[in-house]
A and B are shown apart, each in its own frame.
Chain A
Amino acid sequence: MHLDHTHSGPVALSADARRPDGTRRALRIGLGGPVGSGKTATVAALCRALREELSLAVVTNDIYTREDAEFLLREAVLPPERISAVETGACPHTAIRDDISANLEAVEDLEDTAGPLDLILVESGGDNLTATFSKGLVDAQIFVIDVAGGDDIPRKGGPGVTTADLLVVNKTDLAPYVGSDLPRMAADAKAQRGELPVVLQSLREETGVRDVADWVRARLADWTAPA
């Protein structure tokens, strides 16, 4: 649902791939998933892995604080003008799916003030297994679950687990302590998702966010490839 061009004004209206001046806007990747699964930790690790090679920024959607934004600021993963916090009115999935206006303002403001940007990561406040991002807000989405949340989550499915462009099963280092069966989680995820990719990671181990960073690089290569 885009305006026809005679009406196009100074602000982009929705998911248009171009800025008002005709240049290609930043790729937007959403990260969603249950509370505490490691979304902010993954965002922080991605920033550290990618900030030398890309111009990037982050939007956080906290439920009732600015903790995620403050964590990222404290960790100094990016300069403060590249981190923006959106308030969600007790309902994180509304802000990323049903009424994305505040998030769109945030991504556009970041492009205006810190741009040009290659990549914007949008973290959703921790929510439930049905939370997904609107296509009007992000170009691709990552759903982050962890092994400690129960190893039957991939089997249960739900829109996040089954349809996200990338499923991350985080905190694999904890599997032995919480009795989670990693091969079973991987098999269940495969059964739910068919060809869609799954990454098992531990941010506490050497390889860390490597596979997810590679996936992001590949999305960015697709995004910037001439049509």
Chain B
Amino acid sequence: MSRAALLVLADGRFPAGGHAHSGGAEAAVRAGRITGAGELAEFCRGRLHTTGLVSAALAASAALGMDPAGLDAAADARTPSPALRGAARRLGRQLLRAARATWPSAELDALARDFPKGAHQPVVLGLAARAAGLGAADAAYCSAYESVGGAASATVRLLSLDPLDATGVLARLAPEVDLVVDRAVAAAREALAEGPETLPGASAPLLEILAETHAASPARLFAS
């Protein structure tokens, strides 16, 4: 495993479409649920332990070589909101494009053939990590960190929050990210033996509901 490859994949500038998404932060800001750094921290903690854990486990499973179609179905089953399923597939397709150009691999090509309209982003992320020579924990780290990093940087733009405060939020969440990654990798190893049904299904109903409201809103800065 190459740490440098991990940095390339985890870099917020990796051109895979994430910049247009807020991880639910825009809807939460509009609903008055995030007004400053304190609430941002709570929002990110909630994401990390729900959608963050689920995504990280999916990514780790894909990195371990589990069948992507089964994982994609598992991701669908764990994402009640149609808007979020759509966003996850669009982001998956964008990530696949970037990953195939960056780390050419037969597995990524096969995924593009099987999912021309995109597979769920964490599944693609896991396969991209594999193509980059990275392991299950690396994939889980990318996914878990992304689940909070995107929301934090979007909130900087939405609230003109002090960027140092937003970065502080992420830094203080780091020990919990470590924890979630450990759980995600353990779950992925179990799923490898038992099947994708055993993957975690933690969900945050409000994120799903707000995602639907957001998708119906006529004016928004972020796609999701």
**A residues whose Cβ falls under 8 Å from a Cβ of B:** 1-4, 7, 9-11, 13-14, 63-66, 86-91, 94-95, 98-102, 104-105
Query: Is the CB–CB distance between B223 and A98 below 8 Å?
Result: no
Within 8 A of A (CB), among B100-157: 100-101, 104-106, 109, 112-113, 116, 154, 157
Q: Which single member of B21, B90, B218 contacts A66 (CB below 8 Å)? A: B218
Contact in complex: B157, A99 (CB < 8 Å): no
Q: Contact check: which of B13, B16, B20 meets A89 at CB < 8 Å?
A: B20
Residues of B within 8 A of A64 (CB): 219-221
Contact of A13 among B101, B154, B219, B221 (CB under 8 A): B101
Using known A-B contacts A90-B157, A91-B19, determine if residue A7 contacts B106 with beta carbons closer than 8 Å: yes
A14-B22 contact, Cβ under 8 Å, with A101-B15, A102-B94: no
- Whether B221 pairs with A3 at a CB distance below 8 angstroms is no
Q: Is the CB of A101 within 8 A of B98?
A: yes
Whether A13 and B97, one on each chain, are in contact in the complex, defined by CB atoms closer than 8 angstroms, is yes
Contact B104 A4 (CB under 8 A): yes
In the assembled complex, 20 residue pairs joining A and B whose CB atoms fall closer than 8 Å, in A order, are A1-B101, A9-B113, A10-B112, A11-B97, A11-B112, A65-B219, A86-B20, A87-B220, A89-B22, A90-B154, A91-B157, A94-B20, A95-B20, A98-B13, A99-B15, A99-B16, A101-B15, A101-B17, A101-B94, A101-B97
Q: Is the CB of B20 within 8 A of A105?
A: no
Contacts of B94 in A (CB 8 A): 101-102, 105
Determine if B20 and A102 form an interchain contact, defined as CB atoms under 8 angstroms apart.
yes
Binary per-residue interface labels of chain B (157-175) against chain A in the complex, 1 for a CB within 8 Å, 0 otherwise = 1100000000000000000
Closest to B17 in A: A101
- Known A9-B112, A89-B221; contact A14-B101, beta-carbon cutoff 8 A: yes
Number of interface residues of B (CB under 8 A): 33
How far is B101's CA from A2's CA once the two chains are assembled, in angstroms? 6
B87 nearest CB across to chain A (Å): 10
Q: Of residues 15 to 60 in B, which have CB atoms within 8 Å of A's CB atoms?
A: 15-22
Contact of A104 among B13, B19, B97, B104 (CB under 8 A): B97
Bound together, the chains give a CA A22 to CA B87 distance in angstroms of 30
Chain A's closest residue to B102 (CB) is: A1
Q: Is the CB of A102 within 8 A of B97?
A: no
The answer to whether A3 and B104 touch (CB under 8 A), given A89-B21, A90-B157, A102-B94, is yes
Which residue of A is nearest B93, CB measured? A105
Judging by beta carbons under 8 Å apart, are B106 and A89 in contact? no
Given A95-B20, A105-B94, A90 and B106 contact (CB-CB distance below 8 Å):
no
Q: B residues 198-224 with Cβ under 8 Å of A?
A: 218-223
Name the distance in Å between A59's Cβ and chain B's nearest Cβ. 14
- B154: A residues at CB distance < 8 A: 89-90
Q: Find residues 71-106 in chain B having any chain A CB closer than 8 Å to their own CB.
A: 90, 93-95, 97-98, 100-101, 104-106
Inter-chain CA distance A11–B109, complex, in Å, is 9
Expressed in whole angstroms, the minimum distance between the Cβ of B84 and any Cβ of chain A is 15
- Cα of A9 to Cα of B106 in the assembled complex, Å: 9
Instruction: Name the CB-closest residue of B to A94.
Output: B19
Query: Is A105 a contact of B218 with CB atoms below 8 Å?
Result: no
Instruction: List, in ascending order, chain B residues with CB within 8 A of A94's CB.
Output: 19-20
Checking B15, B22, B105 against A100 with a beta-carbon cut-off of 8 angstroms, the contacting residue is B15
- B158 / chain A contacts, CB cutoff of 8 Å: 90
Q: Which residues of B contact A3 (CB under 8 A)?
A: 100-101, 104
A4, A7, A14, A99 pick with most chain B CB within 10 angstroms: A99
What B residues does A101 contact at CB under 8 A?
A: 15-17, 94-95, 97-98
CB distance from B136 to the nearest CB of A (A): 24
CA distance A106 to B99 in the complex (A): 18
